[in-house]
Amino acid sequence: MIYCFFKLLPTKKKITMISRQSNKKTVDFMLLEKKIIEKSPEYKVVVLCKELKGGAKANLKNKVGYAFHCVRQMYHIATSKIVVLDSYCILISVLKHKKNLKVIQMWHSMGTMKKFGYQILDKEEGSSSKIANSMKMHKNYTYVFASGKAYASLLEEGFNCGMDKIQIFSLPRVDLLTSKTYKEETRSKIEERYPEIKVKKNIVYCPTFRKNEEDFNKKVKEIIEKIDKEKYNLILKLHPLSKVEITENNIINDKEFSTMDMLMVADYVISDYSCIIYEAAILEIPLYFYAFDLQKYLDTRGLTIDYQKELPGVVSKTIDPIIAAIEKGEYNKEKLRAFREKYIENIENTTEKIVDFIFSII
């Protein structure tokens, strides 16, 4: 009823961006907003970013707060020409919109390894079919952006949408990853905070989040113990939701910079199922994959790629072969480039290309 009232209001020269990824503007939204205003200053850009901590299991306070936020969303959706998303938006999926509204799903990940959305319905880490159907999960998208054709087929499955809706565009953040100025400025800031980064080679460990962290806690401590601190700086970039407590003082347990920013000082990256590997691939940083719980992950979540064969680096269930490979100093950059080119086809002027597309469909 509230939305029906808002739909009576006139559509404005306005583009609204909505995210549940954080409570502040994401880097992709900031870049997009800046470029839209630069190219068409007559358009108003509204950015609405708010997390619903706990999701469907959120406490009453968070739910009430998000409900008021939803009223703001309804007003701006109803009076905008374009809505850009980077995550699932309840109101976009469940409501009936004006016929002239265009909705772009610019998913927050450059690529994927983990199954998501409709690929994992009724699995341990997925939504139930009942909830997905009642919430019309990922419906009402006019277009879905994918960084490459190989990624497009995975998004088609995850969103349960047709390939005709998918457009090949990399995320705006690629413009930062390929900017020499941004890399130098970011590296300078990190070196000012951590001067030791200038002295030794830097290994960045950026694992994905696990709900059960008991085994993970032990594995993190094992990495800390086994990497030679005389030769390398070990930089931990744990997931913001991780509750693993690190007491060792001979490593860098950073919580000030983003993982993407830390790539600017990385000589090597160790990950597992995190999609940060696509950003690292653009920067051509040697990648290594510490998958100590691979079979468990396959059973509870599932992966979209052939993990053992396709990834461009050593894949191991123990840390020793990875350390040995780093020590050896040999790496197949050609395989890394082929991996990047398969999933990320376009890495030039990405923000401008997206903005040009947006104005072509208004």
Instruction: Tell me the pLDDT of the chain averaged across its residues.
Output: 93
Give the pLDDT of residue 225: 94
The three-class DSSP label of residue 16 is: strand
- C-beta separation of 360 from 128 below 8 A: no
- Print burial letters for 120-154: b (CB count within 10 Å at least 16), e (below 16): bbeeeebbeeeebeeeebbebbebbbbbbebbbeb
Give the pLDDT of residue 214: 80
Please tell me the least confidently modeled range out of 36-45, 123-132, 252-261, 274-283: 123-132
- Print burial letters for 62-73: b (CB count within 10 Å at least 16), e (below 16): beeebeebbeeb
Cβ burial of 34 (10 Å; 0-12, 13-18, 19+) is middle
Residues with Cβ within 8 Å of 227's Cβ and at least 6 positions away in sequence, in order, are 203, 234, 323
Place of tokens 């992950």: 297
Please tell me the least confidently modeled range out of 50-59, 145-154, 248-257, 317-326: 50-59
Give the pLDDT of residue 212: 79
Q: How confident is the model at residue 302 (pLDDT cuts 50, 70, 90)?
A: confident
Q: How confident is the model at residue 142 (pLDDT cuts 50, 70, 90)?
A: very high
Please tell me the least confidently modeled range out of 78-92, 243-257, 326-340: 243-257
Model confidence at 226: pLDDT above 90 = yes
Give the pLDDT of residue 227: 95
Residue type, 18: I
Give the pLDDT of residue 125: 75
Give the pLDDT of residue 56: 66
The angle that helices 333-343 and 149-159 make with each other, rounded to 10 degrees, is 50
176 vs 140: CA distance, rounded Å: 30
Model confidence at 322: pLDDT above 90 = yes
Model confidence at 314: pLDDT above 80 = yes
pTM: 0.93
Question: How large is the average pLDDT for residues 225-253?
Answer: 91
Give the pLDDT of residue 224: 94
Query: Where is pLDDT greater, at 238 or 212?
Result: 238
Give the pLDDT of residue 209: 85
293 vs 315: CA distance, rounded Å: 12
Give the pLDDT of residue 167: 97
Q: How confident is the model at residue 249 (pLDDT cuts 50, 70, 90)?
A: confident
Give the pLDDT of residue 70: 95
The three-class DSSP label of residue 47 is: strand
The string of pLDDT tens digits covering residues 79-138 is 999 999 999 999 999 999 999 999 999 999 999 888 899 998 888 777 888 988 888 999
The three-class DSSP label of residue 8 is: coil
Residues with Cβ within 8 Å of 123's Cβ and at least 6 positions away in sequence, in order, are 115, 300, 301, 302
180 vs 253: CA distance, rounded Å: 26
Query: Where is pLDDT greater, at 224 or 122?
Result: 224
Angle at 210 between CA 285 and CA 50, to 5 degrees: 85
